Amino acid sequence: MNLANLADSIDSLLPQTQCTRCGYAACRPYAQAIAHDEAAINRCPPGGREVIAALAALLGRIELPLDPGCGTEQPPTVAFIDSGACIGCARCLPACPVDAILGAKHFLHTVLARECNGCELCVAACPVDCIAMQPRPPGQSAPEAPANRARYEQHRARDARAARERERLLSERKRAAQLLPQQ
Ligand code: SF4
Ligand code: SF4
Ligand code: SF4
């Protein structure tokens, strides 16, 4: 198996929360680092023992305990926004890798519990600390890896479109400025 295919196989075993707790920017870069033998297989707290065992079986490596420097294995959580404290700054929106937060600037924001994968990335983004992680209610399961991956890819595609549009507007403004008569 070549390295790209190996990274695909590794990535397919990861939970796709994109939480960065492994020390990489997302699940895919961690998968690539493992494929290149640059990272241990025990750095994914959301995947926990199950993912470590699957990676060990795929790669023929020894099962290691979860690296405590990356975090601990916990029951699934969901983000909750305190509606009385939210100031509508919208900083949590770009932080969410799966677009599970609804809101617009100056309006109250809310979390779509069924889409939230518990990555916690919105918590640090909030300037007034009004986002808390809570245990998922009994019987309510967290989104599965394929859904997380699909939503993350949509999120990245939208970010890329927005970056292209900003670039286009900037170029137009520069061209317009060059056409203005010199004073
Ligand atoms: S889910 Fe696991 S592999 Fe993906 S970013 Fe989080 S810690 Fe890394
Ligand atoms: S709402 Fe917060 S915890 Fe939930 S997926 Fe989005 S960033 Fe992660
Ligand atoms: S970052 Fe916090 S205060 Fe700002 S919109 Fe999100 S939840 Fe509300």
Q: Which residue's CA is minimally distant from atom 7 of ligand 2?
A: 96
71 has a pLDDT exceeding 90: yes
Q: Tell me: domain 3-59, CATH 3.90.1170.50, correct?
A: no
Domain boundaries, the chain: 3-59, 75-183
In the predicted structure, residue 104 carries a pLDDT above the cut 90? no
Q: DSSP readout, 38-104? A: -S-S---TTTHHHHHHHHHHHHT-------TTT------EEEEE-TTT-----THHHH-TT--EE--
pLDDT for 83 equals: 92
Q: Is the pTM of this model over 0.75?
A: yes
When the pLDDT of each residue in the chain is averaged and rounded to a whole number, the result is 94
Please write the tens of the pLDDT for every residue from 117-140: 999 999 999 999 999 999 999 888
Which residue has the least CA distance to atom 2 on ligand 3? 126
Pick the CATH number of 75-183 from 3.30.505.50, 3.30.70.100, 3.30.70.20, 3.40.50.2300: 3.30.70.20
Q: Band of the pLDDT at 183, cuts 50, 70, 90? A: low
Can you give the pLDDT at residue 10? Answer: 98
Best residue among 11, 28, 30 to mutate for probing ligand 1's pocket (most ligand atoms within 8 Å of CB) is 30
Residue 107 Cα to ligand 3 midpoint, Å, equals: 9
19 CA distance to ligand 1 centroid (A)?
A: 5
Distance 99 CA to ligand 3 centre (A): 14
Amino acid at 165: E
Q: Is 116 in the pocket of ligand 2 (CB under 6 A)?
A: yes
pLDDT at position 182 over 70 = no
Ligand 2 pocket, residue 126 CB under 6 Å: no
